Structure 1
Amino acid sequence: MRAYTIWIFLALLVLVMSFLSPNFLTSQNFTTVLKNLAPTALLAFGLTLVFLGGGFDLSQGATLILSATLIASINPEGAIFFTLTVLLIFFIAFCIGSFNGYLIGMHRLNSFIVTLGTRSIVGGFVFIHAAGMVVSAAIQSPILEYIGLDRFLGIPVQTIIWVVIAVLCWFVVKYSPYARKIAVVGSSVRVGKFSGLKVEGLQMSTYVFNGLLAGLAGILIGCQTSHIAPALVWHYDFDAITACAVGGISLSGGKGTIIDTLSGVLLLGFINNSMIMIGVPYKWQLILKGLVLLMAIIADMQSKKSYA
């Protein structure tokens, strides 16, 4: 029911904005919105699995920024150098996710505190690497430019990438025994253990998966522009959490689908786009998004109470 409500609200938003802004209901605007959703969507898909397993991750934004600054500063030329750079970034993202997963899954530490600490550590390395400056490349390599700016069959490459990932994630969450095990653990760790599931390993794997998607999101951001300002791109993780909450993903675990997440991502993306098009100041955009997150959390709590 929650998902249907989000889709109806999205349709109403599109209808209202088509009257308020003549440039809203155009193919160019919709193409731009979908392309710009790539980082938020990837982070939200990764978070979906973490939330499904009963966890929380505040470090993915830092992983994203680290990946973006690395790809932009290395600016790899040629297919081989680009492949090696991407593998390096994925390895770093894998290590960050494994670190979180090991402490949370294997040692049962609080996920909020652990990932908050990881966020600070990784963020510190970002600013050390960037030396507090904007990371830039004088001339962006053709491969990065293609991924960040070009189109394939008329569709932005970045849109194709995140849509393909969305389909893969949807298939995994809906049909794989792995996702069903994650949901059992997220609903109750005790039930998971009594069922013979390897609870620690399952929870750890969700953070690894989330870290890898955060790394990919950072690569896409680094490809979009040759200039990365580390201090200015910390909002993606907040948007991803908000998208999951709005879409109906249970923040306490055990419940949620990729379609739910997708509905939240699209709604948040078009809300952001609408506020920009009608000239809402950035400070009020932040306030509105904060209110949207709080309302989504309250709705989640109320649904749990009614279910109980």
Structure 2
Amino acid sequence: MEHKERNLMSLKAEFHDKGKAARGFKNIMNFIDRNKETELKKLLRFHIPDGVYGQELIERFEIDALLEYYNLLLVAIFAGYVPGKFDEISSKEILAVIRHPSVMPYYNEYYKYKMISYTAEFAEENRYFELEGNSVTISAFNEFISLNRFLKRDKDVELFLGMLDYVWYGDNKISDVIKILSSEEKINSAFITEAEKRTKAQCGVWGFIKYTIFLSQLKDLLNSIDGYPLLQSSFWMFHGYFFERMNSEMKSIFHKAFENLEESFSNPLIFKNLIEEVYGGEAPEDFNEVQLSKFAANAIRQSREDVDYVLDRKWSDPLRDYFGH
């Protein structure tokens, strides 16, 4: 049990006690402790018709990071990485925040994110999940953390996910990314434009490509823990908000987008640019044009299969069944 307690302290130190989550906790508790329910509800309003900009948007992102930490604790429980129930301090904090009447509409109605409800229910019912962490689940959880760090670190991915989450960057929004992905000519332009000269929409296209790489890695991770359905489901549900946004906003254009990407990446110069940008290195010197073209086509086809595989809502079923709804 001692190692699980240490793991819990480590997660709290990295994902709760500093950065956005720490600021989000300080801010939201200031609202709650001072009985500013109306002000908190206004901050966490739906963005239509009253748009959210500037400092308010920053504060919402910080609260999102706090909510994400609570969800990560539940994932860690299903991995056997931390003790099998929330400790008293964490449980009290989770319920004070997630079950606050000014917070609940934020994730239940405006920006539906089911994982938060599951986390609150686990705390509310004082549930206990018994799993002795093993090399499979612990390794998978550590890999899951690493993948999440990549998403937070990459600015293109951050921008793409922001657009999926209704954020506009100037006049650029998710529909502009979709327009580029729907046109081979516009995709080519996005990939040959120097990084510092790209529009936000072009950066969003790069973010989309990098996000599909993440989805391929997540597919492998999900398959590595076959036999642990609740852990698989919690990995999926942790990112479920953005998966649902992709299903609703982008799935209809996937076929055309990947078809255009396959054509675009058949150009060796563009494919080399992709490798250098995504992997931070150069394309192998011994790749000739024919090899590059074939490799690119196979990579895109596999990526499309991986995206369809991961976005399948079946992954949410085990957690839904566990909580009985």
- TM-score normalised to structure 1 length: 0.28
- TM-score normalised to structure 2 length: 0.27
